[in-house]
């Protein structure tokens, strides 16, 4: 058959039905199909045909009479198949990849297939217990038997996608992230002594390739992930650094042979300490920057955004007040905020938005910073010192530290703080918290801190 024939854009109208369906789904002008007889080609030389040659009448006649195989790879415009050994695994994969839920799906006794066309780089064939990646191989797609288990599971077409956009099962994600990054960056660099170390650009890029859905928003300075339905999830720096540590651990195991090949017996050093993790996170903030565009389905009307901000600011100004010696946890402030918005009928921020904004608002209005050691029921909570909700009838609390500094507290002279009965007899209003030291603890106005009055207070509490 001649090799210089240009492929028509669509199949002839009078093709046999199964062949017509196959071409309609895979794409006549993009997919190389060949006739099979069982697992072998009708003629040995058919495997060398070009796409245009397979559209000639002789090959179309054979395709109409025999079983049909599709060729993956560059011969079919970068057609690729992901073969799962279990249908449930394929369903889980499609949940993680909503953009592929409309792509062509097929099934056969050999597995459950997801068909895609790859834009840009893609790796060679790879087998895995969960799924196989097929990028250069013939795959049987249609068998002419009455009881054939080969079927088209939907009427989709192979979706065009970048390989790095595909979200893989956890066991495969790290493997593919390594492959993608190795195709773009040098794995090794040299330290100041000339020894082999892992290239920081390689590490940060591998993280991005593994977590393609995580980006950095430089405007508000946070990492975020776009979820299904247009929702946005914030990723704290600690979460990012934990994932980065997992990447470094994988690199430490995988890059040994690379270093050994390049440097003989010189040991590869992979730094996974806190300082290096922080430096890598800063690099990631540069590499992972993407324009932050809120999808239409997730956008909040401008008037509601204004109402949320107004209600929040009004709450901070009218419901919080400075109170020397008092403490307020973030959870308590949130409960007050929800009650305030419900009573006023105003639009309120989500819990996460409230927590993110509260610290800055309190710092701006009262000059009070957030701490992480406000005690409630013996547990340290995020909160604020010298702050409370207005209208709270809170009894004064004696704040002392649990260290030997209590022995040097001048205004508590004569009180035996090691008396085992103290903790049993004093109500929670005499709460013990960790401060800079009782000698620096704030004195509440109107409270008699003399030893005799204090002992009397304890007796009253008892």
Q: Could you tell me the residue range of the domain that residue 409 belongs to?
A: 404-461
CA distance linking residue 413 with residue 76, whole number of Å: 88
Q: Which residues are paired to 70 by β-bridges?
A: 33, 139
Tell me the pTM.
0.53
Is 193 part of a structural domain of the chain? yes
pLDDT band at 125 (very low <50, low <70, confident <90, very high): very high
Is 1 part of a structural domain of the chain? no
Residue 396 corresponds to which tokens in the numbers above? 């004064």
Based on the fold, state whether residues 205 and 265 are members of the same structural domain.
Answer: yes
Specify the CATH number for the domain of residue 39.
3.30.2250
The count of structural domains within the chain is 4
Residue 268 corresponds to which tokens in the numbers above? 């590869």
DSSP for 302-324 reads HHHHHHHHHHHHHHHHHHEEEEE
Specify the CATH number for the domain of residue 324.
1.10.10.10
CA distance linking residue 220 with residue 212, whole number of Å: 20
- Where among 287, 310, 344 does a domain terminate? 287
CA distance linking residue 217 with residue 288, whole number of Å: 9
Q: What's the pLDDT score for residue 426?
A: 40
Based on the fold, state whether residues 259 and 360 are members of the same structural domain.
Answer: no
The pLDDT of 250-268, averaged and rounded, is 66
CA distance linking residue 152 with residue 139, whole number of Å: 14
Interhelix angle 274-287/237-254, rounded to 10 degrees, is 100
pLDDT beyond 70 at 336: yes
CA distance linking residue 363 with residue 162, whole number of Å: 45
Q: Which residues are paired to 269 by β-bridges?
A: 197
The answer to whether 223 and 237 have CB atoms below 8 angstroms apart is yes
Based on the fold, state whether residues 317 and 448 are members of the same structural domain.
Answer: no
pLDDT beyond 80 at 260: no
Is 8 part of a structural domain of the chain? no
Q: Which residues are paired to 222 by β-bridges?
A: 217
Based on the fold, state whether residues 153 and 24 are members of the same structural domain.
Answer: yes
Q: What's the pLDDT score for residue 303?
A: 56
- Where among 132, 167, 202 does a domain terminate? 167
CA distance linking residue 460 with residue 328, whole number of Å: 26
The answer to whether 19 and 34 have CB atoms below 8 angstroms apart is no
Based on the fold, state whether residues 339 and 256 are members of the same structural domain.
Answer: no
The answer to whether 79 and 72 have CB atoms below 8 angstroms apart is yes
Is 12 part of a structural domain of the chain? no
Based on the fold, state whether residues 128 and 241 are members of the same structural domain.
Answer: no
Q: What's the pLDDT score for residue 11?
A: 58
Is 398 part of a structural domain of the chain? no
In this predicted model, which residue has the larger pLDDT, 437 or 73? 73
Based on the fold, state whether residues 133 and 37 are members of the same structural domain.
Answer: yes
Based on the fold, state whether residues 378 and 256 are members of the same structural domain.
Answer: no
Q: What's the pLDDT score for residue 337?
A: 92
pLDDT digits (tens, 9 = 90+) for 199-242: 888 888 888 888 877 888 887 788 888 776 667 788 888 889 99
Based on the fold, state whether residues 225 and 348 are members of the same structural domain.
Answer: no
Is 79 part of a structural domain of the chain? yes
pLDDT digits (tens, 9 = 90+) for 390-430: 876 544 444 443 333 333 333 444 444 444 444 433 433 33
């Amino acid at each position: 058959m001649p090799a210089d024939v240009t492929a028509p854009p669509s199949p002839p109208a009078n093709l046999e039905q199964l062949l017509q369906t196959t071409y309609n789904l895979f794409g006549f002008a993009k997919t190389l199909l060949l006739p099979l007889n069982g697992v072998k080609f009708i003629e040995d030389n058919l495997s060398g045909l070009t796409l245009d040659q397979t559209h000639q009448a002789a090959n179309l006649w054979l395709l109409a009479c025999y079983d049909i195989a599709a060729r993956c790879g560059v011969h079919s415009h970068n057609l690729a198949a992901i073969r799962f050994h279990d249908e449930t695994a394929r369903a889980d994969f499609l949940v993680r990849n909503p953009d592929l839920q409309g792509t062509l799906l097929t099934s056969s006794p050999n597995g459950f297939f997801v068909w895609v066309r790859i834009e840009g780089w893609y790796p060679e064939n790879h087998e895995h217990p969960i799924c196989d990646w097929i990028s250069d191989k013939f795959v049987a797609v249609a068998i002419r038997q009455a009881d054939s288990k080969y079927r088209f599971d939907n009427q989709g077409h192979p979706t065009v996608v970048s390989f790095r956009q595909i979200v893989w099962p956890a066991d495969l994600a790290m493997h593919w992230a390594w492959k993608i990054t190795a195709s773009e960056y040098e794995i090794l660099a040299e330290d100041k002594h000339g020894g082999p170390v892992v290239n920081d650009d390689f590490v940060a890029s591998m993280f991005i390739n593994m977590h393609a859905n995580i980006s950095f928003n430089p405007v508000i300075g946070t990492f975020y992930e776009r979820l299904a339905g247009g929702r946005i999830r914030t990723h704290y720096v600690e979460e990012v650094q934990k994932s980065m540590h997992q990447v470094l651990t994988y690199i430490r195991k995988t890059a040994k042979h690379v270093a050994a090949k390049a440097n003989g017996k010189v040991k590869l050093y992979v730094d996974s300490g806190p300082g290096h993790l922080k430096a890598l996170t800063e690099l990631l903030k540069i590499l992972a920057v993407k324009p932050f565009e809120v999808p239409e389905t997730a956008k909040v009307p401008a008037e509601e955004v204004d109402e949320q901000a107004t209600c929040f600011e009004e709450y901070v100004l009218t419901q919080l007040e400075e109170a020397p010696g008092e403490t307020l946890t973030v959870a308590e402030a949130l409960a007050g905020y929800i009650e305030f918005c419900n009573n006023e009928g105003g639009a309120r921020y989500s819990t996460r938005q409230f927590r993110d904004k509260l610290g800055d608002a309190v710092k701006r209005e009262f000059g009070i910073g957030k701490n992480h050691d406000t005690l409630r029921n013996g547990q340290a909570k995020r909160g604020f010192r010298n702050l409370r909700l207005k209208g709270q009838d809170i009894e004064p609390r004696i704040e002392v530290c649990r260290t030997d500094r209590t022995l040097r507290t001048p205004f508590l002279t004569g009180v035996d703080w090691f008396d085992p009965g103290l903790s049993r007899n004093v109500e929670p209003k005499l709460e013990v918290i960790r401060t800079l030291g009782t000698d620096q603890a704030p004195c509440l106005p109107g409270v008699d801190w003399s030893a005799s009055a204090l002992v009397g207070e304890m007796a009253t509490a008892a």
